[in-house]
């Protein structure tokens, strides 16, 4: 590994693939306004190699891949396939050269069938009409290639998130690619589904496919990748054989600094205040009469397996979804108010960070400043007219608070990486100084550096007296943050664990049907 700061300029020159690369990016530079997202980066991948690409959110990974796939035109540099330069910014040229990109955010059409989605953009026709028989044959072959069985006529909207991810990969495979690029493909998968996906990628690589694998999950990189490239602040830090490096060295190169917080360190116990957010008998689809209290200055964690009803509960509790029974109240300065709708929850000081930040948390085509203004219109307007100068000052302050990188408040939210988008969602609500905040999977798809920063923000909220409720499938995160953990199974709280004694085994025992310490 190259630990010296000056190693960045020579790293890409020192890493030479053993075989001739199928795909090679040379000296790629990409700017957005005054910000350099990718700065003189090169990467080369030979056939049969799984090449890991890692870096913090905002390091330039997704931007580089979008250049390789012809979605973005580089400001400098070139993309080569078999030594032949591709037309810059041409998705058609990239596809014809055999480059398929599976985005982090799925791009399937919910109302269309599995088969129609797999062949979307390349639907076979005969005499001007869709050739349904050929459509299904090609789609079935793509699914068979990745070893997944699903009804070709099933609408995507009826599939689980995991099956949608596999359909997205089948769509890429149906194009007969020579290069497959995957951006955080396991972010929404269970451990078993992740194992299956990783095994499948290894089988595809053995058949000669060149694979570029982007992930924040370092263990996955070390499980399946042959080499790993690290980006930081848009620059190439190092490319190394996985067998010749360690996870800690990779993380050190990613962040370029010592992490100030140990991800496995528990939150120190504090004395919580009065109950702020209270739910009694909340019942909704997938939720069976849950009682729960969150106190001022307390971080309450909700654990459980996928489908246990955690998200359904918090959405029903705050009025984002309809509840069939139950009562939810918020108490501030001794005054109790009943929350009857999402609007009343927001009005009375509840903030909600949703699981799906891109669809439910942000207006992607609006700027950072305008996104922040959406949740703070009353404070940023006069006589119903938004004050642009006040918005800019307000947004800059919040961008600094959450550590947005780069801190460009006029840039569209959709142009930022996943971790920075999550920071924008947090900034929106921090501006309202909430009395209670509900966070659903707050660091899903976020790199280790951004994860530390988001954890710091959550802790700071609790220290300021905010009542914090966190839903997380990341057990180390849940254990690190929570003062108390309620475990949900089958739409009910089946056990409660004090944060200072909870461990992964006790949470998983409850989640899978065992017994716990309190309330089992």
Residue 24: phi and psi, rounded to 5, are -145, 130
Reading the block at residue 269, the tokens are 């116990």
Residue segments in the chain with a per-residue pLDDT below the cut of 70: 1-18, 57, 257-270, 306, 381, 383-387, 512-520
H or E stretch at 427: helix 418-430
Reading the block at residue 30, the tokens are 């990409």
Q: What is the pLDDT of residue 131?
A: 79
Q: What is the pLDDT of residue 173?
A: 92
Do 242 and 224 touch, CB atoms closer than 8 A?
no
H or E stretch at 143: helix 132-146
Instruction: Give the chain's length.
Output: 520
Sheet holding 23-32, edge to edge: 35-45, 23-32, 76-81, 84-85
What are the residues facing 243 on neighbouring strands? none
Instruction: Note the pTM of the prediction, 2 decimals.
Output: 0.60
| SS3 state of residue 62 | helix
Reading the block at residue 55, the tokens are 């870096």
Q: Which residue is it, tokens 């979008």? A: 66
Cα–Cα distance, 189 to 187 (Å, whole number): 6
H or E stretch at 206: helix 191-206
Do 171 and 187 touch, CB atoms closer than 8 A?
no
- CATH architecture, domain defined by 274-349+435-520: 3-Layer(aba) Sandwich (3.40)
Burial 56-75 (b: 16+ CB within 10 A, else e): bbbbbbbbbbbbbbbbbebe
Q: What is the pLDDT of residue 267?
A: 59
Nearest to 422 by CA among 187, 193, 252: 187
H or E stretch at 251: helix 247-255
**Pairing between strand 227-232 and 235-241?**
antiparallel
Residue 247: phi and psi, rounded to 5, are -55, -40
Q: Does domain 5-98+177-255 have CATH number 3.40.50.300?
A: yes
End-to-end CA distance of the chain: 49
Nearest to 15 by CA among 227, 325, 329, 300: 227
Sheet holding 299-303, edge to edge: 350-353, 436-440, 467-471, 299-303, 484-489, 492-498
Cα–Cα distance, 293 to 274 (Å, whole number): 10
Reading the block at residue 198, the tokens are 């990783």
Reading the block at residue 173, the tokens are 């495979």
**Pairing between strand 350-353 and 381-382?**
unpaired
What are the residues facing 493 on neighbouring strands? 488
- What angle, rounded to 10 degrees, do the helices at 161-173 and 132-146 form? 110
What are the residues facing 90 on neighbouring strands? none
Q: What is the pLDDT of residue 513?
A: 67
Nearest to 10 by CA among 19, 2, 21: 2
Nearest to 477 by CA among 217, 301, 357, 352: 301
Q: Where in the chain are the domains?
A: 5-98+177-255, 274-349+435-520, 363-433
Q: Which residue is it, tokens 């703070």? A: 376
DSSP state of 279: E
**CA quadruple 154, 286, 184, 93: dihedral, nearest 10:** 30
Reading the block at residue 132, the tokens are 């349904």
**Pairing between strand 210-214 and 179-183?**
parallel
Do 291 and 458 touch, CB atoms closer than 8 A?
no
Give yes or no on whether 5-98+177-255 and 274-349+435-520 have one common fold: yes
**Pairing between strand 484-489 and 492-498?**
antiparallel
Cα–Cα distance, 157 to 108 (Å, whole number): 9
Q: What is the pLDDT of residue 259?
A: 44
Cα–Cα distance, 505 to 510 (Å, whole number): 9
């Amino acid at each position: 590994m190259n630990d010296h700061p000056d190693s960045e300029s020579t790293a890409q020159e020192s890493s030479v693939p053993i075989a001739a690369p199928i795909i090679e990016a040379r000296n790629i530079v990409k700017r957005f306004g005054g910000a350099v997202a990718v700065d003189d980066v090169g990467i080369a991948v030979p056939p049969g190699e799984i090449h890991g690409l890692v870096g913090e959110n905002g390091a330039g990974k997704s931007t580089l891949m979008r250049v390789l796939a012809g979605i973005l035109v580089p400001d400098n540099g070139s993309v080569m396939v078999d030594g032949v330069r591709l037309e810059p910014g041409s998705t058609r040229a990239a596809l014809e050269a055999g480059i398929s990109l599976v985005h982090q955010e799925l791009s399937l059409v919910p109302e269309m069938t599995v088969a129609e989605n797999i062949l979307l953009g390349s639907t076979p026709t005969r005499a001007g009409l869709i050739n349904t028989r050929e459509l299904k044959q090609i789609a079935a072959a793509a699914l068979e290639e990745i070893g997944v069985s699903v009804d070709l006529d099933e609408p995507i909207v009826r599939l689980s998130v995991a099956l949608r991810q596999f359909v997205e990969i089948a769509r890429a495979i149906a194009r007969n690619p020579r290069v497959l690029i995957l951006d955080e493909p396991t972010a929404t998968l269970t451990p078993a589904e992740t194992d299956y996906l990783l095994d499948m990628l290894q089988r595809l690589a053995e058949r000669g496919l060149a694979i570029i694998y982007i992930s924040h999950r370092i263990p996955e990189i070390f499980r399946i990748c042959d080499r790993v490239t690290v980006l930081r602040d848009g620059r190439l830090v190092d490319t190394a054989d996985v067998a010749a490096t360690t996870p800690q060295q990779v993380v050190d190169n990613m962040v370029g600094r010592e992490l100030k917080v140990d991800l496995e360190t528990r939150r120190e116990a504090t004395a919580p205040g009065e109950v702020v957010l209270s739910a009694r008998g909340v019942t909704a689809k997938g939720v069976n009469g849950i009682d729960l209290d969150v106190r001022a200055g307390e971080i309450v964690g909700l654990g459980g397996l996928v489908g246990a009803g955690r998200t359904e509960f918090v959405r029903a509790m705050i009025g984002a979804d309809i509840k069939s029974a139950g009562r939810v109240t918020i108490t501030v300065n001794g005054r109790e108010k009943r929350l009857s709708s999402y609007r009343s929850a927001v009005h009375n000081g509840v903030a909600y960070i949703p699981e799906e930040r891109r669809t439910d948390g942000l207006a992607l085509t609006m700027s950072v400043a305008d996104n922040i203004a959406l949740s703070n219109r009353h404070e940023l307007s006069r006589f119903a007219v938004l004050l642009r100068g006040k918005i800019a000052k307000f947004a800059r302050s919040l961008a600094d608070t959450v550590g947005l990188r780069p801190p460009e408040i006029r840039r569209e939210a959709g142009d930022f990486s996943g971790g920075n988008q999550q920071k924008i969602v947090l900034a929106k609500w921090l501006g309202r100084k909430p009395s209670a905040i509900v966070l659903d999977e707050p660091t899903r798809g976020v790199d280790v550096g951004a994860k530390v920063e988001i954890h710091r923000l959550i802790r700071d909220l609790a220290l300021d007296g905010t009542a914090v409720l966190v839903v997380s499938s990341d057990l180390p995160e849940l254990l690190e943050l929570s003062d108390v953990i309620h475990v949900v199974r089958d739409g009910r709280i089946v056990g409660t664990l004090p944060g200072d004694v909870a461990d992964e085994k006790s949470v998983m025992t409850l989640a899978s049907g065992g017994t716990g310490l309190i309330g089992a």
